[in-house]
A and B are shown apart, each in its own frame.
Chain A
Amino acid sequence: MGYITDEQPLNYPIDNPTVLEPPTEWAELRQKCPVARVKLASGDEASLVTRYEDVKNVLADPRFTRPSAANEGARVSEDESGGVFNSEMATVLPQSGEGHRQWRRLLNRYFTAKRMAALRPRIEAMADQLIDGMLEQGHPADLKAGLAFPLPVWVICSILGVPDSDRDKFAYWSDTLLSMTRYTREEIGKAQAEFGAYLAGHVAAKRAEPGDDLLSELITYTDAEGQPLSDAILVATGQGLLVAGHETTANMIAKMMAMLLSDRSRWERLLEDRSLIRSATEEALRLDVNAGFGMLRYIDADFEVGDTVVPAGTTVVCSMAAANRDENAFERADEMDLARTPNPHLSFGAGAHSCLGQALARTELQVVLDVLLRRLPSLELAVPADELRRVEGLLVGGLRELPVAW
């Protein structure tokens, strides 16, 4: 199959037919057009890869970098600032090579499996508290507003040491950073400046009075030459963790619950066998059709994807969600198998840049599922699954709300 250049590019992102079903184009692209020309909301063109092996190889290949103003990669959004991938946050933090490796290893220590296991009782207590609140209010209730959204915000605020009373601000700043079409360039610029100023103030306060949290620890860190991290890096790291730590997980909790409750035999199977919680959360991650935009990569040399040559200067869009349904990588790929093991899905990416917070996300998903099975065994959707609505215009995908009853 050749590199398609003579046809009209496909508009990207591609819409799903319903909120829980994948676009029919995914299977077609994987079969017939593994490297497809697409047009982004900015009007820029890019190449979309959808096969499991291709997506994994592109994500893990160190020759790829992020598209940026410097390398003339494609921009995601309509406005000229180009969205989160071209934000100041993305340019201050080391993106590749030894610099990235050191920064990554410095942060890894806060997100190890062991640390997350130690955090688990606190996350459980938070989930219980939020469910108490839902029970007081009565049903039908919105599981997203009542549990899925606040929980990850509480958790990441507590890890970072920022007050969760400011969470409405974080949600707005985060939405603007992740905007594809929702906000204007002016709105995004203003929000980013406010977000930066807020965290700079916070870093200064922690410097004066350190606490028992990630930002306080990073402030006192010095490298092998005795150099501390710059304020710009501290602020960008805080921003990155706040944005990455709440929106994606909040959405994933709601989407996982929608998948499990839309066919209630899945929920019942988990009620009977709690040992499936871990594999069930992985399967929900694999089958998420509202994963959002995917990952962007840029390459300045010719690169082979399968038997197609992608020319130097191409921006590649990796659709992990499409790759996760590749029949060549997963048996019965479209089927939700709560016991699927192993499940090497690509929802957290692959290679040196794979999600830093994946152990945290996994822990949060598992805890929510465990606590809901225990507290609300009679849980069910309060509307037909086809009436669920998507969030529009952001790079991360999710449901607007998840009405439930019990």
Chain B
Amino acid sequence: MKVSVDEDKCCGAGSCVLAAPDVFDQRDEDGIVVLLDAEPGEHLHTAVREAADVCPAAAIMLADRT
């Protein structure tokens, strides 16, 4: 799984951090998403999918790597 984020779309809701704190964080100064791990291990995939699904700004993109 390859994760990417769109800082421009991000509204700083923080729902990704609540769902997958090992993969997402927020910048202290404006709450915008920080991607901690662009290729998270398999044990994190469910949480990352949840983060992408619940993002209110649709700012998290996932690509499956084969």
Residues of A within 8 A of B (CB): 60, 104-106, 108-109, 111-114, 116, 278, 341-344, 348-355, 358-359, 362
Given A350-B57, A354-B57, check contact A113 B14 (CB 8 Å).
Answer: yes
Given A278-B18, A354-B11, A354-B13, check contact A348 B56 (CB 8 Å).
Answer: yes
Q: Which residue of A lies closest to B51 (CB)?
A: A342
Q: Is the CB of B53 within 8 A of A342?
A: yes
Q: Is the CB of A355 within 8 A of B31?
A: no
Q: Is the CB of B26 within 8 A of A113?
A: yes
Q: Is the CB of B50 within 8 A of A112?
A: no
Q: Which of B13, B17, B57 has the most CB atoms of chain A within a 10 A radius of its CB? A: B13
By a CB distance below 8 angstroms, the chain B residues around A343 are 54
Q: Tell me which of A105, A116, A348 contacts B32 (CB under 8 A).
A: A105
By a CB distance below 8 angstroms, the chain A residues around B30 are 105-106, 108-109
Q: Which residue of B lies closest to A279 (CB)?
A: B50
CB of B25 to closest CB in A, whole Å: 7
> Can you offer 13 A-B residue contacts whose CB atoms are under 8 A?
A60-B58, A104-B12, A108-B30, A108-B31, A112-B14, A113-B15, A113-B17, A114-B14, A342-B19, A342-B50, A350-B56, A355-B13, A359-B15
- Bound CA–CA A223/B56 (angstroms): 27
Q: Tell me which of B28, B49, B56 contacts A112 (CB under 8 A).
A: B28
Describe A's contact surface by its main secondary structure: helix
By a CB distance below 8 angstroms, the chain A residues around B54 are 342-344
Q: Is the CB of B57 within 8 A of A362?
A: no
Of residues 27 to 59 in B, which have CB atoms within 8 Å of A's CB atoms? 28-32, 49-50, 53-54, 56-58
CB of B12 to closest CB in A, whole Å: 4
CB of B22 to closest CB in A, whole Å: 13
Q: Tell me which of B31, B53, B56, B57 contacts A105 (CB under 8 A).
A: B31
Q: Is the CB of B31 within 8 A of A112?
A: yes
By a CB distance below 8 angstroms, the chain B residues around A112 are 12, 14, 17, 26, 28, 31
- Bound CA–CA A105/B33 (angstroms): 11
Q: Is the CB of B31 within 8 A of A358?
A: no
Q: Is the CB of A354 within 8 A of B56?
A: yes
CB of B21 to closest CB in A, whole Å: 8
- Bound CA–CA A278/B29 (angstroms): 26
Q: Is the CB of B57 within 8 A of A358?
A: no
By a CB distance below 8 angstroms, the chain A residues around B14 are 111-114, 116, 358-359
Q: Tell me which of A108, A278, A348, A349 contacts B12 (CB under 8 A).
A: A108
- Bound CA–CA A105/B30 (angstroms): 5
